[in-house]
Structure 1
């Protein structure tokens, strides 16, 4: 592993590019499970209604480390996910121990699904897992609540699942960093979701609706963005799109540390080994959810 961190302009550009490139594979390695039928079937068997099994199972499995802190802690950590949906998860799942059930059910589906849908990722996860754990254990906790809670969970004995959890921790550390930047920009959950949707070029309010925002919440988001000079006539203005791009750029800049700790050679090797099987996992999302889901894994058109 690399032991020296470099911050000169040339090195900074290099690490920025690595951070941006590998963020996509990190997201994809983890995110496909959110809509996977193998996971949803397990949540249904636990007792969730079929329509709710996917979204509530997502909240319960990902949120299990923070569940003892209550719904408001998850709302604060989950960014643009519907607050009402998170509160419903607590109504239906009820106890922190039951949230842990969903964590375990999700893990079963992860191991089974990776072997079935992207077998080429099994060896890279097993090989890279120990080095990634050494990285995540050195990452700063300050301001990264969901990352810190997830880090406290027991480490799986399975080398495949252990490697996957290490990647998941990279994802949560980046996510906590991103939401801190969104908050620092003065954006609400609804505003952030609307700007993200516009920045991606998705159809009207698709992202907000997919994350459970109500019509009233979306309307309020547009109204406040308009007052701030970031939108007009339910379209983001150039100022709004520039703000969203700046948040993305800052996220990449502020998340170079894991790759510096891993080392340049290993960071490039991560990209080369993970990208091909991640394309299969993204195709799985296309099949199980749709081609707009998991937007952090999508290649955004220039412009």
Structure 2
């Protein structure tokens, strides 16, 4: 498979590793993402003084909290800058307070995995050391959120240690993906609009779910029109082709962890985690709704951009 990013150093070129990267990205996302809406986590955030969405920002953003809200906005990519600023205001910019949310999130992870997807416990415990070995060999260059995340203390709890190794791989992929979108010239609001249509969701649903304001959404549509990717508040097919190319490039450029881990380990990771991840995805359906965590969902029609947008 080729993309417009073929000239970039670091692409894998190997279609088998591309597929491995694509397949395991789904389990990586699901293993981590279910906690974002988990009532056990939300209750803990509320006990510390923040509602669920802001508690998510504080818990995930703890590694970069000392750098301030602008740095965290840049790292999160598409999450509302308003929500991030409000989180900093409510916590008075106290990095220690952010770490409290990181810790209480971990408590909810340990409790929730054992309760809702017990089949994931042994694989994460057993695979954790090898996953960390791969994480430690991943390049930091340009992956600031990943770098901050791996600087956090590693849990002594073997289940949480394995979970955090997966989380590090997730953040490494996320940093890579946002670098590609930035290189393509897309802003945060533009990227959300294009992603929303590529997913086949209702108008601007994804942008609003991430807390973007109506002003930010309007600016996103205006920017896409100026770039020749939208007209009359509808996307043109080239926007969806671009989004697919970016997804393919992300899969190619984030195959490295799996190459480091090897074929047998990568296949075992997929086969052992996927059944439990289906349970975690069902948990997302229950706690948030079926549109949430789109990276965990399989919709083959995404790969047919001519089915969407304006002609």
If the length of structure 2 is used for normalisation, what is the TM-score? 0.92
**2:33 is equivalent to residue 35 of structure 1:** no
Contact 2:12/2:255 (CA < 8 Å) preserved in 1?
no
Could you say which residue in structure 2 is the equivalent of 1:256? 255
**2:27 is equivalent to residue 22 of structure 1:** no
From the superposition, tell whether residues 8 and 161 of structure 1 become closer, same or farther in structure 2 (CA, over 3 Å).
closer
Could you say which residue in structure 1 is the equivalent of 2:88? 90
Residues 204-229 of structure 1 show CA distances to partners (whole Å, capped at 9, x for unaligned) of: 00000000111111111111101111
Number of matched pairs: 292
**Tell me, which stretches of 5 or more residues in structure 2 are unaligned?**
1-9, 305-311
Residues 46-65 of structure 1 aligned to structure 2 (within 5 Å): 46-48=48-50, 53-65=51-63
Residues 237-263 of structure 1 show CA distances to partners (whole Å, capped at 9, x for unaligned) of: 100001111110100010010000000
Residues 130-141 of structure 1 aligned to structure 2 (within 5 Å): 130-141=129-140
Residues 162-210 of structure 1 show CA distances to partners (whole Å, capped at 9, x for unaligned) of: 0000000000000000000000000000000000000000000000000
Q: For residues 126 and 269 of structure 1, what CA distance do their matches in structure 2 show?
A: 14
Could you say which residue in structure 2 is the equivalent of 1:146? 145
From the superposition, tell whether residues 8 and 174 of structure 1 become closer, same or farther in structure 2 (CA, over 3 Å).
closer
Q: For residues 126 and 157 of structure 2, what CA distance do their matches in structure 1 show?
A: 12
Contact 2:12/2:18 (CA < 8 Å) preserved in 1?
no
What secondary structure sits across from 1:229 in the alignment?
coil
Deviation, 1:300, is 2.4
Q: For residues 125 and 119 of structure 2, what CA distance do their matches in structure 1 show?
A: 11
Contact 2:11/2:253 (CA < 8 Å) preserved in 1?
no
**Tell me, which stretches of 5 or more residues in structure 1 are unaligned?**
1-5
Contact 1:198/1:235 (CA < 8 Å) preserved in 2?
no
If the length of structure 1 is used for normalisation, what is the TM-score? 0.95
Q: For residues 7 and 196 of structure 1, what CA distance do their matches in structure 2 show?
A: 23
Could you say which residue in structure 2 is the equivalent of 1:3? none
Q: For residues 11 and 108 of structure 2, what CA distance do their matches in structure 1 show?
A: 40
Runs of 4+ residues deviating >4 angstroms: 6-9
Deviation, 1:8, is 7.8
CA RMSD of aligned residues (A): 1.2
Deviation, 1:73, is 0.6
Contact 2:12/2:253 (CA < 8 Å) preserved in 1?
no
